[in-house]
């Protein structure tokens, strides 16, 4: 048996033991699951929340911690899939929401606070105009509509292995099976869901991340039909993959040469990897960008925006609506989040904690010879089970899912609430402390030791 096969075998044994322990510790989650499946498919509100045989259901969160329905307390690094950079029940966010609740939770009329929030988003993310939405899905849907309307073109480009929400045009090649991926140069457009009209695929083209050659060839063939390319400037749904130096600017230049637009999906990276997201970190300003998750302090808000001359198409017939857009509760939470909580000091704190966590994981990986690497980007970071950093989705296919599947229950059983799924990453909050991070490092170190000797 080779080293990797032996490691995978040990990981499977650890996963079996740890899952058995987890199921013994979580009878209330099991009971809630059995109740929930009678009213919701898979017993959850969104398919991403499902887990086999049942998920751990939460009861509450405060500060850096969450409690499950069995009463176990965890250090939370799941962060509600990357939203909770403010931590749970942050006093400033709670106060802002309470104040808004007392003066009217909804008008479907723009308030002064909504204008102030729009101004703050423009300032932070170098945008000239923004519009609001209620989820990342709606934000990317709005940006694509605007890009199509502004260019008068129907086709879009997306990156293989990227998720941009669950609307039809972007539900292709999100996690394609290797036998359906097509060639490296020109990946196939593979649907991620049933229920997507087959004809939709004709309008979505797929290219690998960090590959300007593939983008250039596609644009040379079909550039005149392409409205724009949507991409996560740093990929965050296959672990974390950073853009190669020059890639983002190179993509922007190529797209512009063909009259197409660059759309950043900063749903995950915005306000987490730097105050101004990827624009701040990598210095490339896109034509349009989408934000959600961390910008609204754990309330369901989102936005998209960018160049005034592109967004202006909304004034000339490109539809963008939504009853709850700019809702007062969400705007109050968002304004408090961006102007009072996620300040310069907060990013210093997050960077320090993130580096401490990443270094702790690196040390454990090195000490026990685990084939893994660590990425550290502000509030976000991850361990991926492949020794070398990744450049695109096909590298992600070389990671070892069995090791992740062992680490997940291992961490849960030791009081660390991690995201279900090896495509995800940790999210730290301003309310986390060094002690919380050290708890993760200790549990992870024990995991690496067990994996090396089991």
Ligand X SMILES: Cc1ncc(COP(=O)(O)O)c(C=O)c1O
Which C-beta is closer to ligand X: that of 268 or that of 432? Answer: 268
Long-range residue pairs from 341-347, CB within 8 A, at least 24 positions apart, any chain: 341/86, 341/90, 341/92, 341/93, 341/297, 341/430, 342/85, 342/86, 342/271, 342/275, 342/294, 342/430, 344/275, 346/430, 347/274, 347/275, 347/378
Which C-beta is closer to ligand X: that of 90 or that of 164? Answer: 164
Q: List binders of ligand X among 167-206 (CB under 6 A).
A: none
Q: Which stretch binds ligand X (CB under 6 A): 211-219, 262-270, 336-344, 440-448?
A: 262-270
Among 55, 165, 187, 286, binds ligand X (CB under 6 A): 165
Asked if residue 425 binds ligand X (CB under 6 A), the reply is: no
Q: List binders of ligand X among 355-374 (CB under 6 A).
A: none
Active site residues: 163, 265, 293
CA dist 160 and 182 (Å) reads 11
Asked if residue 423 binds ligand X (CB under 6 A), the reply is: no
Asked if residue 380 binds ligand X (CB under 6 A), the reply is: no
Asked if residue 427 binds ligand X (CB under 6 A), the reply is: no
Residue 412 burial (10 A CB sphere; 0-12, 13-18, 19+):
buried
Q: List binders of ligand X among 135-154 (CB under 6 A).
A: 135-137, 140
Among 84, 227, 260, 267, binds ligand X (CB under 6 A): 267
Q: List binders of ligand X among 20-79 (CB under 6 A).
A: none
- Strand ranges (DSSP E) for 193-320? 204-207, 226-231, 261-265, 288-291, 302-306
The owner of tokens 């609001």 is 132
Which C-beta is closer to ligand X: that of 10 or that of 78? Answer: 78
Tell the smallest beta-carbon distance from residue 171 to ligand X (Å): 11
Asked if residue 272 binds ligand X (CB under 6 A), the reply is: no
Asked if residue 396 binds ligand X (CB under 6 A), the reply is: no
CA dist 295 and 292 (Å) reads 6
Among 57, 125, 163, 304, binds ligand X (CB under 6 A): 163
Among 146, 159, 261, 292, binds ligand X (CB under 6 A): 292
Tell the smallest beta-carbon distance from residue 270 to ligand X (Å): 10
CA dist 265 and 150 (Å) reads 18
Asked if residue 402 binds ligand X (CB under 6 A), the reply is: no
Q: List binders of ligand X among 208-237 (CB under 6 A).
A: 232, 237
Tokens, residue 377: 């980007």
Among 54, 74, 81, 247, binds ligand X (CB under 6 A): 81
Query: Minimal CB distance to ligand X: which residue?
Result: 136
H-state helical runs in 414-433: none
Tell the smallest beta-carbon distance from residue 417 to ligand X (Å): 17
Q: Are strands 373-377 and 302-306 parallel, antiparallel or unpaired?
A: unpaired
Which C-beta is closer to ligand X: that of 15 or that of 127? Answer: 127
* Cα→Cα distances 47→54, 194, 196, 286, 401, Å: 12, 14, 17, 31, 19
Tokens, residue 387: 């020794």
The CA dihedral of 29, 31, 33, 39, to the nearest 10 degrees, is: -140
Query: How many C-beta atoms lie closer than 10 Å to residue 70's C-beta?
Result: 16
Q: Which stretch binds ligand X (CB under 6 A): 51-59, 215-223, 261-269, 431-439?
A: 261-269
Q: Give the closest residue to 359 by CA, choosing from 292, 437, 282, 289.
A: 437
Q: Give the closest residue to 297 by CA, choosing from 94, 61, 29.
A: 94
Note the residues at the interface with ligand X (CB under 6 A): 81, 135-137, 140, 163-165, 232, 237, 265, 267-268, 292
């Amino acid at each position: 048996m080779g080293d990797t096969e032996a490691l995978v075998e040990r990981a499977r044994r650890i996963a079996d033991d740890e899952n058995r322990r987890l199921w013994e510790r979580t009878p209330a989650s099991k009971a809630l699951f059995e109740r929930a499946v009678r009213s919701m498919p898979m017993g959850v509100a969104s398919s991403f929340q499902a887990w086999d045989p049942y998920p751990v259901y939460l009861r509450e969160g405060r500060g850096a911690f969450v409690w499950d329905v069995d009463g176990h307390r965890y250090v939370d690094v799941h962060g509600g899939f990357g939203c909770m950079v403010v931590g749970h029940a942050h006093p400033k966010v709670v106060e802002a929401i309470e104040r808004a609740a007392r003066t009217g939770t909804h008008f479907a009329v723009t308030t002064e606070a909504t204008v102030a929030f729009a101004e703050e988003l423009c300032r932070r993310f170098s945008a000239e105009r923004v519009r609001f939405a209620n989820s990342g899905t709606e934000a990317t849907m709005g940006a694509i509509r605007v890009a199509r309307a502004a260019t008068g073109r129907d086709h879009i480009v997306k990156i293989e292995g990227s998720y941009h929400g669950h609307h039809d045009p972007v539900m292709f090649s999100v996690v394609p099976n290797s036998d359906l991926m097509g060639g490296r140069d020109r990946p196939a457009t593979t649907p991620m869901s049933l229920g997507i009209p087959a004809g939709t695929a004709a309008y979505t083209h797929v290219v690998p991340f960090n590959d300007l050659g593939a983008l250039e060839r596609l644009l040379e063939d079909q550039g005149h039909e392409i409205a724009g390319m949507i991409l996560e400037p740093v990929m965050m749904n296959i672990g974390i993959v950073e853009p190669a130096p020059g890639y983002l600017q190179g993509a922007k230049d190529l797209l512009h040469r063909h009259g197409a637009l660059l759309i950043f999906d900063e749903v995950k990276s915005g306000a987490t990897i730097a105050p101004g997201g990827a624009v701040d970190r990598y210095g490339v300003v896109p034509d349009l960008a989408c934000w959600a998750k961390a910008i609204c302090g754990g309330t369901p808000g989102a936005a998209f925006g960018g160049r005034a001359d592109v967004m202006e198409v909304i004034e000339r017939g490109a539809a963008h609506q939504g009853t709850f857009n700019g809702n007062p509760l969400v705007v109050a939470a968002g304004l408090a989040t961006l102007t009072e909580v996620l300040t310069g000091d907060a990013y210093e704190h997050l960077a320090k904690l993130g580096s401490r966590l990443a270094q702790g994981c690196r040390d454990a990986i090195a000490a026990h010879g685990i084939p893994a690497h660590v990425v550290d980007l502000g509030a976000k970071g991850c361990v991926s089970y492949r020794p070398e950093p990744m450049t695109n989705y096909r590298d992600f296919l070389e990671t070892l899912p069995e090791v992740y599947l062992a680490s997940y229950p291992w961490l849960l059983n030791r009081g660390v609430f991690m995201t279900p799924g090896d495509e995800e990453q940790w999210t730290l909050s301003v309310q986390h402390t060094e002690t919380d991070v050290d708890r993760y490092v200790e549990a992870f170190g024990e995991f690496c030791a067990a994996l090396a000797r089991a």
